[in-house]
């Protein structure tokens, strides 16, 4: 009977766990839809900012571009890496895949003889890299579940200050790009210095724009700051959507595993109960036969 009681308690425990994982799956599924919409809505704006920056750079002499600190390329001796993780767990392999990419990048940079410093976003990144001997310059934890431009601006300004001051010669962002509900991809994005892709030739129509007071001031005070802020903001949006999708998938798998375990335990319980009843019947029959004899 003690064995039956233990199995019965285990079944109740797994059933309670399944209720929790099912509820978390439904919550994640509801949130990931909105996160997906935010990602898809922000991508055209990011592309438009990059296109405008492209056109502005194309209209500016290289000598003038050299005066903008965030566009200056210099020999890389130290690299800053912005690591985007989550504050919470229970999201499958979302965080471990990001950390694996960061460790590989650190090993590669060490092999090249370059120094590294980390900017960590999320409690999971802070916890993981706590025991790893790499310089941490800044940590951001417990950010809002829905990324905002204010947080993105703060992180972007801190990264830009590191680059402009010469503490680092390049900044990279390692995070997760949302592709679909079932797929995400870890990315390593070159952030600073701002790398403007070459202009695409062959366009039939070229828009005319007027920059006031001058194209240099507009680039330095408006276009480039907006670009780096939006790059961080886009990375945070992508990561948030990928995290929710990973959590939804992880909770779906957990619920399915709990269902299978309940079925397996129920089968074991029924067999044990049947064996117990059979044993009791044999004892009764044996006792009756002994009385007859």
The confidence score (pLDDT) of residue 279 equals 81
- CATH at residue 261: 1.10.287.80
Query: Which residues does the chain have with pLDDT short of 70?
Result: 1-2, 197-215, 293
The confidence score (pLDDT) of residue 204 equals 45
Would you name the residues annotated as active-site residues? Answer: 91
Burial class (CB in 10 A: 0-12, 13-18, 19+), 216: middle
CA distance 110 to 121: 22
Q: What residues make up the domain containing 276?
A: 2-23+250-287
Helix, strand, coil % over all residues of the chain, rounded to 5? 65, 15, 25
Residues 145 and 52 in one domain: yes
pTM: 0.85
User: Residues 137-168, buried b or exposed e (16+ Cβ, 10 A)?
Assistant: ebebeebeeebeeebbbbbbebbbebbeeeeb
Query: Measured in Å, how far apart are the chain's first and last C-alpha atoms?
Result: 31
Residues 132 and 276 in one domain: no
- Using an 8 Å Cβ cutoff, are 181 and 172 in contact? no
The confidence score (pLDDT) of residue 278 equals 85
Question: Which residues sit opposite 117 in a β-bridge?
Answer: 80, 135
- Using an 8 Å Cβ cutoff, are 10 and 223 in contact? no
List phi, psi (to 5°) of 205.
-115, 130
Residues 270 and 183 in one domain: no
| 204 within domain boundaries | no
């Amino acid at each position: 009977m003690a064995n039956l009681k233990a199995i019965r308690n285990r079944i109740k425990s797994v059933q309670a766990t399944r209720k929790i994982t099912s509820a978390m799956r439904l919550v994640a599924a509801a949130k990931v839809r909105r996160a997906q919409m935010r990602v898809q809505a922000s991508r055209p704006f990011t592309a438009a900012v990059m296109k405008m920056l492209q056109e502005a750079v194309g209209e500016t002499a290289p000598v003038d571009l050299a005066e903008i600190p965030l566009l200056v390329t210099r020999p890389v001796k130290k690299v800053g890496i912005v690591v985007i993780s989550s504050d919470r767990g229970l999201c499958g392999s979302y965080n471990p895949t990001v950390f694996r990419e960061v460790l590989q990048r650190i090993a590669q940079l060490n092999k090249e003889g370059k120094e590294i410093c980390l900017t960590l976003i999320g409690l999971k990144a802070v916890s993981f890299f706590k025991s790893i001997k790499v310089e941490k310059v800044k940590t951001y934890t417990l950010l809002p579940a829905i990324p905002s431009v204010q947080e993105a601006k703060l992180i972007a300004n801190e990264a830009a200050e590191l680059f402009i001051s010469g503490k680092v010669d390049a900044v990279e962002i390692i995070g997760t790009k949302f592709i679909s509900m079932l797929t995400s991809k870890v990315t390593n994005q070159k952030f600073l210095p701002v790398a403007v892709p070459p202009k695409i030739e062959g366009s039939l129509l070229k828009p005319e724009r007027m920059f006031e007071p001058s194209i240099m001031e507009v680039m330095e005070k408006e276009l480039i700051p907006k670009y780096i802020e939006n790059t961080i903001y886009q990375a945070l949006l992508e990561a948030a959507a990928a995290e929710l999708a990973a959590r939804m998938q992880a909770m779906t798998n957990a619920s399915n595993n709990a269902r299978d375990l309940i079925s397996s335990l129920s089968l074991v319980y029924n067999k044990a109960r049947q064996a117990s009843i059979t044993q009791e019947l044999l004892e009764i029959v044996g006792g009756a036969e002994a009385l007859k004899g």
